[in-house]
Amino acid sequence: KTYIVIMAGGIGARFWPYSRRHKPKQFLDVLGEGRSLLQMTFDRFKEMASPDRFIVITYGKYLDQVKEQLPELDENQILCEPSRKNTATCIAYATYRIYSKDPDASLIITPADHLILEGEKFHQVMHKALRASQHGQRLVTIGIKPTRPETGYGYIQYVQEKNFDVLKVKTFTEKPDLELAKTFLKSGDFLWNSGIFIWKAESLISALKTYLPDTAEVFEDGLNSLNTSKEAEFIRNAYALVKNISIDFGVMEKSDQVYVIPADIGWSDLGSWQSLHDIRTKDPDGNVIDGNTILYDTKGSFIRLDNDKLVMVKGLENYLIVEENNVLLICPIDSEKEFRQFVADAKKKDSRYI
């Protein structure tokens, strides 16, 4: 049986001030098409699994928003984390939870912050990945052809083999520095990790036992509590013990069981203002505009307001202007790296701003 696990507990700091702590980007309709990123993720898999095979794992405070946005799910399909311990922990929790009921389960793990334009192709790739994941203890990921030396992604080097579309991974490098990312891009042997993982529950558990044994031990000890009335208490204790690490650093970089399926599925990570700018419709000068503006000599910018204030701008290039509730942010649109600092500094002023 196949289960779809949607990871929806991030804070979306790089989308601040639109993405806020009480309502991060996965719950926002960032494309303005009437569905949030979480709902779009659910829709994408609806054809592949019935609603009772979905698990959404999120930070506890977001339970009500998940319930409201996905009324198709039963409350016990929404796993609430007491703190943020990153994706390795969140994947371990979801995997052990499913495994304790169905030891033969296969999982598709998906982030909630992606856009995939080619739905039909995407489904074909998922079916192929599920088939590939049944051999041995494979950890399968989907690889995307890189287009720029992005440092926010994982890079996958694979073994070139003719006539194979499931390729053995040679190296996995999570979030390289710019220098290394440029080298990877130039060499042409690398793919971006899409962040969508496909494996049998038992394969991941075996990888956790090898590469994150402390995490595995905590969950093994509580296996009998999962799916019972003791689950919440066990999870509170477990989360206090486990270390904060991503699946990419914790498992994917280390395992020799990683396979990649290269796929051209119109993928983008809606991780930042720049990435949203890339995919949105632009005016002839390359500006994305959500609001009431008069622009002169302004190019490549993103202007977004949550009210009907008139914004007049002259002489800006590649800038972001975003007003949301009590925050107005103006910065170069490629300031991605600085957002954590922005949010931290705003919080120091007053927590109402984050």
CB 106 to ligand GDD: min, Å: 19
Number of other CB atoms surrounding residue 181 within 10 Å? 21
Contact status: 21 vs ligand GDD (CB under 6 A): no
CB 111 to ligand GDD: min, Å: 3
Residue selected from 36, 87, 274, 301 as contacting ligand GDD according to rule CB under 6 A: 87
Q: How far apart are CA 77 and CA 61, in angstroms?
A: 15
Q: What angle do helix axes 201-211 and 213-221 make, rounded to 10 degrees? A: 120
Confirm if 154 and 173 have CB atoms less than 8 A apart: yes
Contact status: 270 vs ligand GDD (CB under 6 A): no
CB 307 to ligand GDD: min, Å: 28
Contact status: 60 vs ligand GDD (CB under 6 A): no
Q: By three-state DSSP, how is residue 13 classified?
A: helix
Question: Residues 110-129: x/- map of binding to Mg ion (CB under 5 A)?
Answer: ---x----------------
* SS3 letters across 41-107: HHHHHCCCCCHHHEEEEEEHHHHHHHHHHCCCCCHHHEEEECCCCHHHHHHHHHHHHHHHHCCCCEE
Residue 110 pairs in a beta bridge with 6
Question: Six-digit token pair at 160?
Answer: 């070139």
Binding residues among 239-278 for Mg ion as defined by CB under 5 A: 271
Please calculate the CA angle 232-57-213 and round it to the nearest 5 degrees. 75
Q: How many CA atoms lie within 13 A of 302 on its CB side?
A: 22
Contact status: 242 vs ligand GDD (CB under 6 A): no
Contact status: 65 vs ligand GDD (CB under 6 A): no
Residue nearer to Mg ion on the CB measure, 25 or 53:
25
Binding residues among 127-186 for ligand GDD as defined by CB under 6 A: 152-154, 174
CB 114 to Mg ion: min, Å: 8
Residue nearer to ligand GDD on the CB measure, 51 or 152:
152
Contact status: 9 vs Mg ion (CB under 5 A): no
Nearest partner of 227 among 89, 71, 55, judged by Cα: 55
58 binds, among Mg ion, ligand GDD, none (CB under 5 to 8 A by kind): ligand GDD
Among 77-85, 118-126, 163-171, 327-335, the segment contacting ligand GDD (CB under 6 A): 77-85
Residue 79 pairs in a beta bridge with 57
Binding residues among 97-126 for ligand GDD as defined by CB under 6 A: 111-113
Residue 267 pairs in a beta bridge with 116
Q: By three-state DSSP, how is residue 19 classified?
A: coil
Question: Six-digit token pair at 311?
Answer: 């914004």
Contact status: 259 vs ligand GDD (CB under 6 A): no
Contact status: 24 vs Mg ion (CB under 5 A): no
Number of residues that bind ligand GDD (CB under 6 A): 27
94 binds, among Mg ion, ligand GDD, none (CB under 5 to 8 A by kind): none
Binding residues among 304-333 for Mg ion as defined by CB under 5 A: none
Q: How far apart are CA 307 and CA 309, in angstroms?
A: 6
> Residue numbers of the site for ligand GDD (CB under 6 A)?
7-10, 26, 57-58, 81, 84-87, 90, 111-113, 152-154, 174, 192-195, 248, 269, 271
